[in-house]
Structure 1
Amino acid sequence: MAGQAPWTDVRLRAAWARADWAAILREYRRAAGLTQQALETLVGMPQPHISAIESGRRQVKTAAVRARITEGLQVPRELVDAGQSDLYGQWEPSGELRARIAHAHQAGRTDLRTARWISEVLATQRRADDHEEGAVLWPVVRSQLDAVTRLLPGASGPAADRLLLLAAEHAHWLSWVAWREQQHAAALAWVDMAHGWAVDGGHTDMASWVYRIRAHYSLQRTDPVRALRTAEAARQHPGLSPAAAAVAAHTTAMAAAAAGERDRARALADEAVAAAERAPDVEERPGWLYWLTPARARLQAADVAYACRDWATAAAGIRDVLDVLAEYPRDHAYYRARLEDAERRS
């Protein structure tokens, strides 16, 4: 494993985002399967110097050394850009970014290799989000989005549509992280952009998904009426895939339960499980719903039971499939707390 390939690794990209040169060298070697000695020819410094940097006994202070490491490790363009602009640390989307989208669907040709690379990177970032703090990766993902949107003015037809979906996926991720960091206005701005880009590109599943995210935000603000209205809009997008229909139904169920419509919530929970069971394999689901297995759908149904105060049903449902979350510590902690509380109340 050499060249740019290690740079799909989230821990390595997070080290770059922190400008932690010791961690950059360590994580690159781990991802590439290299020894310190093998790194010598790449970065143009002897193994003892590499060891001293990795152990913290020597600091990377000069621009020349940073440039040597950057070039030798073939740091991707979007990461180099992220380290050079203060823009990528800002929470709000910029006007320039919006202007680029306005030029989509112009006649032209564009090289989609960059888009394919960034799509692969985003897939790894989604899967690692349960372990890495999103705020650390914020400038990196923001720079990735810029790299995608810079391709739009030269794209047309299906190529432009693919780029708009990739842009929407990034905007959704940025919205989610901004919300977790209590940057609520920025989160809403990003999710609205994601929806517009998804609609422009004809991507029904993504358009529905970001409405579902908006409904989730309203639920967290304890506004079930607004959440229910938005979640219903997510369900009404025509032509949804089974997985997208499942998450839209689940969020509508949670909103209905919060609004006191418990029978409706239970019916929607059953609908969500049935839809998820029609897409049991990961290739049958949109990339951002890679996690929505039938077992996860049953966990969500148990969450609806919890919201409806059906404590025994909730406890039994969570207990039955909690083990599927072993590799998702954040979700496991959430459902474990739900289980303990439901058992105490039942």
Structure 2
Amino acid sequence: MEKTSPWVDPHLRAAWAQGDWAAILREYRRAAGISQTTLAGLAGLSQSDVSLIERGKRVVREAAVMERIAEGLRVPPELLNLDPTSSWAPDPELSDRIARAHATGRTDTRSADWIARVLTEHRRAEDDGAGADLWPVVRSQLDTVTRLIPGASGPTADRLLLLSAEHAHWLSWVAHGQRQYGAAQAWLGVAHGWALDAGSTDMASWITRVRSYYQLGAGDPVRALRTAEAAIGGGADLSPSAASIASHTAAMAAAAVGERDRAHRLADEAYAAALRTPEEGDRPGWLYWLSPTRARLLLGEAAYAARDWRRAADALGDGLAELEGYPRDSAFYRMRLEDARRRS
């Protein structure tokens, strides 16, 4: 798959998952920056056909037309056999494939390279609330990655295992957002195992941190604190950004159990660690968002949880202005800021 392919775009992939042909053509044109006439030439349609389909005046029903469009628009293989009705829970077959990792063999990782790039776009799309729409897409991507593992060995197998863990974590996060709590825990469990198999201390810590986040949200701060401490346990083996987010989660749990001094200490440690990797390229892919601005907001969030209103207002006010492209996060932190200012 060429690097310039429009199919890296999450909105186009979500349209394909939904089988919405009008949206598929519109989103493809937008992502590719082409006209209806150019798209018509690619898909084996007339310009008037493209216009009618996009406006909902013509419905694509014929299998031959669907196949012609898919071939002409070079739909990636992992999208061709989606099952939008699949269960939220992990398929046991995935673990069977993982169990055969590090076998002797050679695997062409071009598909994995492509899917790793696409997952980066899916992470950003999930920030905008598009996770549920992309669920079947990511399930299918994970299926593609795990099929490569039995033929891989050594560092290649480790890389594929880590990519599998990243997908499983994403699926857990989206399932949790859809209140599929059992499935979310199941995906988190397999993700953690795959991260350990891959030898990724950062990913194992991150997944443990997410488990703590789930526990805190479920009203169990004591267990959340214990779990967050385990996420920090990698110590010197953790990257600064992974250590930062684990310490922040522990700070939130410490505040919830009333240990304010401990919460402040952990929050300060988290902020200092985050500032050690200010550039996105120096952080693990799943922590792309942990910029200095975000770290400042997390510092304010921890202060808010510890009921230190003045400190919370100062930190949140510093970072909020840079969240214009993230409406959900902006609304969340703005509410915290306004409340902290009232209380300070």
Superposition TM-score tier, normalisation by shorter sequence? over 0.9
Q: CA deviation at 1:301?
A: 0.7
Runs of 5+ unmatched residues, structure 2: none
Per-residue Cα deviation, 1:299-319 (whole angstroms, up to 9, x for no partner): 101001100111121112111
Q: CA deviation at 1:253?
A: 0.3
Query: How many angstroms apart in 1 are the aligned matches of 2:338 and 2:70?
Result: 49
Q: 2:112 aligns with which of 98, 111, 115?
A: 115
Q: CA deviation at 1:176?
A: 0.2
Q: 1:328 aligns with which of 326, 329, 341?
A: 326
Decide whether aligned partners of structure 1 residues 160 and 19 sit closer, same or farther in structure 2, where only a CA change above 3 A counts.
same
The reply on whether 1:261 has 2:259 as its aligned counterpart is yes
Question: Counterpart of 1:8?
Answer: 8
Query: How many angstroms apart in 2 are the aligned matches of 1:178 and 1:307?
Result: 26
Question: Counterpart of 1:97?
Answer: 94
Question: Counterpart of 1:344?
Answer: 342
Query: How many angstroms apart in 2 are the aligned matches of 1:140 and 1:102?
Result: 24
Question: Counterpart of 1:151?
Answer: 148
Q: CA deviation at 1:45?
A: 1.0
The reply on whether 1:194 has 2:191 as its aligned counterpart is yes
Q: CA deviation at 1:63?
A: 1.2
Percent identical among aligned pairs is: 62
Question: Counterpart of 1:140?
Answer: 137
Q: CA deviation at 1:3?
A: 9.2
Per-residue Cα deviation, 1:159-215 (whole angstroms, up to 9, x for no partner): 000000100000000000000100000000001111100000001100000000000
The residue matched to 2:322 in structure 1 has which SS? Answer: helix
Per-residue Cα deviation, 1:44-79 (whole angstroms, up to 9, x for no partner): 110001100001111111111111111111111111
Question: Counterpart of 1:231?
Answer: 228
Report matched runs for 1:20-31 at 5 Å. Answer: 20-31=20-31
Decide whether aligned partners of structure 1 residues 168 and 3 sit closer, same or farther in structure 2, where only a CA change above 3 A counts.
closer
Q: Is the 8 A contact 1:3 1:74 kept in 2?
A: no
Count of equivalent residues: 343
Question: Counterpart of 1:73?
Answer: 73
Structure 1 vs Structure 2 CA RMSD: 1.4
The residue matched to 2:293 in structure 1 has which SS? Answer: helix
Structure 1 stretches of 4+ moved >4 Å: 1-4
The residue matched to 1:325 in structure 2 has which SS? Answer: coil
Q: CA deviation at 1:329?
A: 1.5
Query: How many angstroms apart in 2 are the aligned matches of 1:296 and 1:218?
Result: 22
Per-residue Cα deviation, 1:115-142 (whole angstroms, up to 9, x for no partner): 0000000011112212242111100000
Structure 1 length-normalised TM: 0.97
The residue matched to 1:106 in structure 2 has which SS? Answer: coil
Q: CA deviation at 1:345?
A: 2.1
Structure 2 length-normalised TM: 0.97
Q: Is the 8 A contact 1:299 1:318 kept in 2?
A: yes
Q: Is the 8 A contact 1:2 1:32 kept in 2?
A: no
The reply on whether 1:212 has 2:209 as its aligned counterpart is yes
Query: How many angstroms apart in 1 are the aligned matches of 2:125 and 2:36?
Result: 26
Query: How many angstroms apart in 2 are the aligned matches of 1:269 and 1:323?
Result: 21
Question: Counterpart of 1:35?
Answer: 35
Q: 2:175 aligns with which of 169, 178, 196?
A: 178
Per-residue Cα deviation, 1:238-278 (whole angstroms, up to 9, x for no partner): 40000000000000000000011110000000000110111
The residue matched to 2:105 in structure 1 has which SS? Answer: coil
Q: CA deviation at 1:344?
A: 2.1
One-letter amino acid of the counterpart of residue 66, structure 1: M
Question: Counterpart of 2:56?
Answer: 56
Question: Counterpart of 2:286?
Answer: 288
Q: Is the 8 A contact 2:125 2:131 kept in 1?
A: no
Question: Counterpart of 1:127?
Answer: 124
Decide whether aligned partners of structure 1 residues 265 and 139 sit closer, same or farther in structure 2, where only a CA change above 3 A counts.
same
The residue matched to 1:26 in structure 2 has which SS? Answer: helix
Q: CA deviation at 1:89?
A: 2.6
The reply on whether 1:166 has 2:163 as its aligned counterpart is yes
